[in-house]
Amino acid sequence: MSNFGESQLWNGRIFSDGWKVAVGGTQAVIEPATGERIGLIGIGSPEDIESAVISAMKAQEGWSAMPFDQRAAIVREAARLLKERASEINEWNVRECGSSRPKAEWELHATYEQMQMSAALPMQPDGALYPSSVPGRMNICRHVPVGVVGVIAPWNFPILLAMRSVAPALALGNAVILKPDAQSGVAGGLLLAKVFEDAGLPAGVLHVVPGGPAAGDALVRHPQVGMISFTGSTAVGRSIGEICGRMLKKVALELGGNNAMVVLDDADIDAATSSGAWGSFLHQGQICMQTGRHLVHRSIVEKYVQRLAERARSLKVGNPAKEPVHLGPLINQKQLERIDDIVQSSVRAGAYVLAGGRYSGLFYEPTVLAGVKPGMPAFEQEIFGPIAPITIFDTDDEAVDLVNSSEYGLAAAIHTKSMSRGLALSSRIRSGMVHVNDQTVNNEFHVPFGGMGASGNGGRFGGLANVHEFTQTQWVSLTDKPVQYPF
Which residues form the catalytic set? 254, 288
Q: What is the dihedral of CA 351, 355, 361, 363, to 10 degrees?
A: -110
DSSP E strand boundaries for 357-467: 359-360, 363-364, 367-370, 387-393, 408-409, 411-415, 433-436, 452-453
Distance CA 17, CA 62 (A): 15
Q: Is residue 276 helix, strand or coil?
A: helix
User: Do 210 and 185 contact (CB within 8 A), yes or no?
Assistant: yes
Percent helix, strand and coil across the chain, each to the nearest 5? 40, 25, 35
